[in-house]
Amino acid sequence: MSDLTKQTCEACSKDSPLATEQEKKELGAEVPDWTTVTRNGEEQLERTFKLKNFAEALAFTNKVGELAEEVDHHPMITTEYGKVTVTWWTHKIGGLHRNDFIMAARTDELAGA
pTM: 0.94
The answer to whether residue 1 sits within a structural domain is no
Mean pLDDT for 52-63 is: 98
> Can you give the residue range of the structural domain that contains 75?
19-111
The answer to whether residue 2 sits within a structural domain is no
Count: domains in the chain: 1
C-alpha angle with apex 109: 60 to 101, nearest 5 degrees?
Answer: 105
The answer to whether residue 104 sits within a structural domain is yes
Q: What is the pLDDT of residues 10-49, one digit of tens each?
A: 888 899 999 999 999 999 999 999 999 999 999 999 999 9
The answer to whether residue 3 sits within a structural domain is no
Confidence of residue 2 (pLDDT cuts 50, 70, 90): low
Residue 53: which CATH number?
3.30.1360.20
The answer to whether residue 11 sits within a structural domain is no
Mean pLDDT for 81-88 is: 98
